[in-house]
Structure 1
Amino acid sequence: MIGIVGGIAMLVGLVLTWGVAVPFFTVSGDMPTDMGLIDFAMRTWKTKVRFIGVGTIGIAAIWTLLVLMKPMVEGMIHSFRMLKRGQSESDDRIDIDLSPKTMIYILIATVALIVISLHHFIAVAPISPELSILLVVVCTFLAVFIGFFVAAASGYMAGLVGASSSPISGIGIISVIVISLVLVSIGNATGLFETTDGQKFLTALTLFTASIVLTTATISNDNLQDLKTGLLVEATPWRQQVALIIGCFVGALVIAPVLEILYHAYGFTGALPRPDMDPTQALSAPQATIMTTISQGIFTNQLEWTYILTGVGLGAVLIIIDEFLKKVSNKAFALPVLAVGIGIYLPPSINTPVVVGAFLAWFINRHIANYAARTGDKQASAKAERFGTLFSAGLIVGESLMGVILAFIIAASVTSGGSEAPLALNLENWDGIGEILGLTVFIAGIIIFASRVLRAKKSD
């Protein structure tokens, strides 16, 4: 899905992290006597190197927004002109969107929901009514203002190169920093920042407001991808838009209880529902964790700005390299800085399969292209790509569904007084065997995927 260019960029991030940065910091630091090498390396990555990735992602997101600024502004101007002029005069159904009046009503309703949500969140805090109103107004403005530009940038990027290349992680980090700095100013001016409880409240409010911005970005990301697909197949825009609005409501109703079940079944990193739970089994949620860490660091004045600024410098160098490669190769080669940053700040357990998948897809595509050239079968590539895409989508959806199903099983077991791991196999030396079995299954999955895709090129 990310392509060989993105895979190479993430591999560069992995090499910079585990081949350069982590060894440098571990050699220059003192390892605790009660900690193993692997644990020490992981702690070094979490507390130092990961923030370099944050800086790299942040500068990459800013650069992406600057590059997209001109076409994005032109698109918004065109949209406002269409909004002012009213419904399109064309009778062609593929040119008919929701009416401007309907969109204005939806906007007003959305802002009202944001105000209600923020008021409900802030009302429980022991602060004055005047300060509550101020925070509701400021956070609503931040959510709507930042969300508007974030939606435009994410949606434009998703429609241009696909949803997987949209800089949502970087935008989320920038949003958290901006919202945190604004609320720090309010906290200092009102005295709310002087107490530990006040700092915790502002941290939670920052994350709550940022979640609205990120929700805007992800919905825009997904919807623009769908609308682009609809344009290609000549769907009716206003019908798509109605369906997408319904999808937003359904998603809002479904996501909350599913997350609640996942929380009680696995817990999240740093937030376990029961004291006897195994923290290694908690859902990592790396983006949410790093945004929480950034927000807490700003409010406690303990954020590792040195590492973040190092990442910004690294990102600036990578941007120069990326632009140079594009220029000398006529855009045949590139080094996406955002992907490099993601390779630095995501754990290797997530990055490695993505990189392997990118290279696997590249090799398979090369083989199929050579096969098509030898045999003259022009449909071979399309057939194999279609099968590979469906196979990959099935793996992604299947993994997600199995995670939810297992969460239901675990939650049912715990509530009935049973084990937190009802399906676990308790064997001696299971840790070593488990790693070997996991690697074996991973390799077997690669072989099965490759063989099925290559076989599909010959099928009718």
Structure 2
Amino acid sequence: MSNKNSDFKPYIPADRVVPEFTVTSVLIGIVLAIVFGAANAYLGLKVGMTISASIPAAVISMGIIRVILRRDSILENNLVQTIGSAGESVAAGAIFTLPALFLWAKDGIIDMPSVVTLGLVALVGGVLGVIFMVPLRQALIVEEHGVLPFPEGTACAEVLLAGEEGGSKAGVVFSGLGIAAAYKLISDGFKVFPSEIGHDIAFYKGSSIGIQVLPALAGVGYICGPKISSYMFAGGTLSWFVIMPMIALFGGDAVVFPGSAPISTLAPSDLWGTYVKYIGAGAVATGGIISLIKSFPLIVRTFKQAMKGMKSAGKASTLRTEQDIPMPVLLIAMVVIAVAIWLLPAFPVNLLGAVIVVVFGFFFATVSSRMVGLIGSSNNPVSGMAIATIIITTILLKATGTVGTTGMTGAICIGGIICVIAAIAGDCSQDLKTGFILGATPKKQQIGEIIGVIASAAVIGFVLYLMNAAWEFGGKEIPAPQATMMKMLVEGIMNAQLPWALILTGVGVAIVVEIMGVQVMPFAVGMYLPFSLSAGIMAGGVVRWFMERRKNVSEEERRAGVDRGVLYTSGLIAGEGLMGVVLAGLAAAKLNIDVSGILNLGGISSIISIIAFVLLLASLAKVCTSTKK
């Protein structure tokens, strides 16, 4: 696609050098990577989702570097958030797959996985994720600037710029931050009102309407805009108001695999978790393949540019803002890692497995990087990609004779590596987008990302062991929903039991959607995720739609209002992210601040949820329409 990137000027010009990769930024970034990694591991194991850590890390770095240490380099702040956000992505990739090994150990099928194995899976996945993202930077970040919104990356840049420029911009950002943090504390901390409300429709069995009334979802919807938000909403509508009621209507009292109970006894949430997730996974995988096919000419052009750069290395200097880790270094590192996966006894993976990691790793790194450019890291369905990987990997391992516990553990480890690759590639692309806007040095950011991966991979095994020892995976406290599904998938394929009809249904839906000219990936993500989440995002998209069509104002004033909304919603995303980390820490320390039992609001709490969310959206509209300079 064409864009006006040639006219783009970063905040810090390429010919200006300011402090960036410093001891201070690296040390603070490492601490944040470990903290966010542990917090997100707990959240993901408990609720099946993780928070994006880029903006919280940026806000914290501003507080430490600018306020406490009295340093004023925006690129130093940016490097802190780059390193710190890696922890969240490593955790997301690990928790969606590796707890399956603990579940098998609990059943006596295999021995407990070693901390070394868990750490190495996270480490090689994270490093490969960065390696695969580097040659894609020119194509996705630079050439498609103005085409792919990269909501978190753009929001993170706005947060850092607001802190740099001060004045009204900082006030808008931090007012959003404070409101969202207080909102999150009251709803998910004190539990005065629920953050998700829903109602099963009795006369239309199998359907359920609901919304997650969270500031970050409204923020992501506003930043993504009405088009992407509506595609996600449409996908959710298809799943929850067409497919699930049809399953309920035709299923009756039948017990259909992979379910183990009569369909007539299943609530809508059970129908979604038992059947529709497979359809969504098929759609997401197909959307990824279509995305890769459409991106292929761009990828080929990017690699041609990279190879030319290899030949001319050392002959001509490049601009600071165009420097990446050299291609020879990337290729050597990739080969060394692939051989290590094959030969090291810590990886229960053969040569075929090592090849699968490299091939699928690059594929999903490409898909993930482009997808987060569309819908943001918070909604990146990494587990959906892992599902597709584990299905194909297990089939290939079984076909080549690698069966039993060896094939099962190999499939999970390969899936774990791919999952981390996809998560890190998405996070890295958001961080590089932030750096592109600010004028950071890409090579320093890429090295920083690898440092964050190493730090968080070093502790993730201990975190998983600690949580399993405290509550046991698969229990009420930490059900580990994705890993439980991965375990079932691998067992199902090895035992020749898999709901292929559901997966192929998703494939067919994705193809039809593509033929109709709708962007497949956000639509497929909407099918895969709960409808309530898409509804929350749609609410923010609707506000953006109204703000872009305001009448009786000049084009300049309308644009300024929309930009103020981006600043405010950046603060909303940051505020909820920071408070989410705080609440995760309280939960891990077993400190209960729930006051719902004392208040005993009953059915009124849902009404309070709606009122609170409407007031939040009204505050966003007020910021957009404010005429105060």
Alignment gaps of 5+ in structure 1: 123-134, 323-334, 414-419
What TM-score does the superposition give when structure 1 sets the normalisation length?
Answer: 0.73
Task: Assess if the C-alpha contact under 8 Å between 1:2 and 1:165 holds in 2.
Answer: no
Shift of 1:317: 1.3
Shift of 1:336: 1.7
In structure 1, what is the equivalent of residue 353 of structure 2? 139
- Where 2:324 maps in the other structure, the secondary structure is coil
In structure 2, what is the equivalent of residue 325 of structure 1? none
Separation (CA, whole Å) in 2 of partners of 1:356 and 1:160: 17
In structure 2, what is the equivalent of residue 219 of structure 1? 424
Task: Assess if the C-alpha contact under 8 Å between 1:181 and 1:298 holds in 2.
Answer: yes
The letter of the residue matching 1:183 is: L
Separation (CA, whole Å) in 1 of partners of 2:618 and 2:496: 50
C-alpha spacing 1:91/1:147, structure 2 compared with 1 (3 Å): closer
C-alpha spacing 1:13/1:78, structure 2 compared with 1 (3 Å): same
Separation (CA, whole Å) in 2 of partners of 1:107 and 1:79: 16
Separation (CA, whole Å) in 2 of partners of 1:263 and 1:292: 16
In structure 2, what is the equivalent of residue 130 of structure 1? none
Task: Assess if the C-alpha contact under 8 Å between 2:253 and 2:262 holds in 1.
Answer: yes
Q: Please point out which of 434, 440, 451 is paired with 1:246.
A: 451
C-alpha spacing 1:428/1:387, structure 2 compared with 1 (3 Å): closer
Q: Please point out which of 306, 309, 327 is paired with 1:79.
A: 306
Shift of 1:78: 2.4
In structure 2, what is the equivalent of residue 295 of structure 1? 490
The letter of the residue matching 1:23 is: P
1:452 aligns with 2:623: yes
Task: Assess if the C-alpha contact under 8 Å between 2:236 and 2:529 holds in 1.
Answer: no
Task: Assess if the C-alpha contact under 8 Å between 2:240 and 2:531 holds in 1.
Answer: no
Q: Please point out which of 386, 395, 413 is paired with 1:172.
A: 386
Bigger shift: 392-401 or 338-347? Answer: 392-401
Task: Assess if the C-alpha contact under 8 Å between 1:13 and 1:341 holds in 2.
Answer: yes
Shift of 1:185: 2.2
Separation (CA, whole Å) in 2 of partners of 1:205 and 1:257: 21
In structure 2, what is the equivalent of residue 13 of structure 1? 235
Of the two, which has the highest radius of gyration?
1
Shift of 1:352: 1.7
Task: Assess if the C-alpha contact under 8 Å between 2:232 and 2:534 holds in 1.
Answer: yes
The letter of the residue matching 1:364 is: M
- Where 1:175 maps in the other structure, the secondary structure is helix
Separation (CA, whole Å) in 1 of partners of 2:422 and 2:559: 33
In structure 2, what is the equivalent of residue 96 of structure 1? 323
In structure 1, what is the equivalent of residue 288 of structure 2? 61
C-alpha spacing 1:283/1:348, structure 2 compared with 1 (3 Å): farther
In structure 2, what is the equivalent of residue 408 of structure 1? 585
The alignment yields a C-alpha RMSD, in angstroms, of 3.7
Shift of 1:238: 2.7
1:439 aligns with 2:610: yes
1:58-103 Cα deviation digits (max 9, x unpaired): 2211111111112212212321332244246135333433344543
Task: Assess if the C-alpha contact under 8 Å between 2:386 and 2:419 holds in 1.
Answer: yes
Shift of 1:210: 1.6
Task: Assess if the C-alpha contact under 8 Å between 1:157 and 1:165 holds in 2.
Answer: no
The letter of the residue matching 1:301 is: A
Bigger shift: 398-407 or 70-79? Answer: 398-407
In structure 2, what is the equivalent of residue 356 of structure 1? 539
The letter of the residue matching 1:5 is: K
In structure 2, what is the equivalent of residue 381 of structure 1? 559
Identical aligned residues as a percent: 29
Separation (CA, whole Å) in 2 of partners of 1:354 and 1:83: 43
1:206 aligns with 2:424: no
Separation (CA, whole Å) in 1 of partners of 2:465 and 2:547: 40
The letter of the residue matching 2:394 is: S
Shift of 1:167: 7.5
Task: Assess if the C-alpha contact under 8 Å between 1:16 and 1:344 holds in 2.
Answer: yes
1:28 aligns with 2:250: yes
Shift of 1:26: 1.3
- Where 2:440 maps in the other structure, the secondary structure is coil
Separation (CA, whole Å) in 2 of partners of 1:432 and 1:454: 34
Separation (CA, whole Å) in 1 of partners of 2:457 and 2:444: 20
Task: Assess if the C-alpha contact under 8 Å between 2:228 and 2:522 holds in 1.
Answer: yes
In structure 2, what is the equivalent of residue 237 of structure 1? 442
1:268-296 Cα deviation digits (max 9, x unpaired): 7xx12xxxx46xxx57766x565555434
Shift of 1:301: 2.3
1:119 aligns with 2:345: yes
Q: Which has the higher contact order (CA 8 A, sep 6+)?
A: 2
Task: Assess if the C-alpha contact under 8 Å between 2:248 and 2:263 holds in 1.
Answer: no
Alignment gaps of 5+ in structure 2: 1-222, 255-260
Shift of 1:353: 0.8
Separation (CA, whole Å) in 1 of partners of 2:606 and 2:433: 42
- Where 1:426 maps in the other structure, the secondary structure is helix
Separation (CA, whole Å) in 2 of partners of 1:454 and 1:262: 47
C-alpha spacing 1:181/1:285, structure 2 compared with 1 (3 Å): same
Separation (CA, whole Å) in 2 of partners of 1:95 and 1:448: 40
1:50 aligns with 2:228: no
1:123-165 Cα deviation digits (max 9, x unpaired): xxxxxxxxxxxx3433222212321333344445656997679
Separation (CA, whole Å) in 2 of partners of 1:143 and 1:241: 21
Task: Assess if the C-alpha contact under 8 Å between 1:26 and 1:40 holds in 2.
Answer: no
In structure 1, what is the equivalent of residue 79 of structure 2? none
In structure 1, what is the equivalent of residue 160 of structure 2? none
C-alpha spacing 1:50/1:95, structure 2 compared with 1 (3 Å): closer
In structure 1, what is the equivalent of residue 268 of structure 2? 41
In structure 1, what is the equivalent of residue 25 of structure 2? none
Task: Assess if the C-alpha contact under 8 Å between 1:61 and 1:170 holds in 2.
Answer: no
Task: Assess if the C-alpha contact under 8 Å between 1:52 and 1:307 holds in 2.
Answer: yes
Bigger shift: 394-403 or 21-30? Answer: 394-403
Task: Assess if the C-alpha contact under 8 Å between 1:265 and 1:411 holds in 2.
Answer: no
C-alpha spacing 1:433/1:292, structure 2 compared with 1 (3 Å): farther
Separation (CA, whole Å) in 2 of partners of 1:265 and 1:385: 47
Task: Assess if the C-alpha contact under 8 Å between 1:97 and 1:237 holds in 2.
Answer: yes
Separation (CA, whole Å) in 2 of partners of 1:397 and 1:261: 28
Q: Please point out which of 521, 527, 549 is paired with 1:338.
A: 521
Task: Assess if the C-alpha contact under 8 Å between 2:288 and 2:364 holds in 1.
Answer: no
Shift of 1:22: 1.6
In structure 1, what is the equivalent of residue 42 of structure 2? none
Task: Assess if the C-alpha contact under 8 Å between 1:2 and 1:164 holds in 2.
Answer: no
The letter of the residue matching 2:429 is: L
Separation (CA, whole Å) in 2 of partners of 1:140 and 1:246: 23
Task: Assess if the C-alpha contact under 8 Å between 1:95 and 1:237 holds in 2.
Answer: yes
Separation (CA, whole Å) in 2 of partners of 1:104 and 1:266: 42
The letter of the residue matching 2:625 is: L
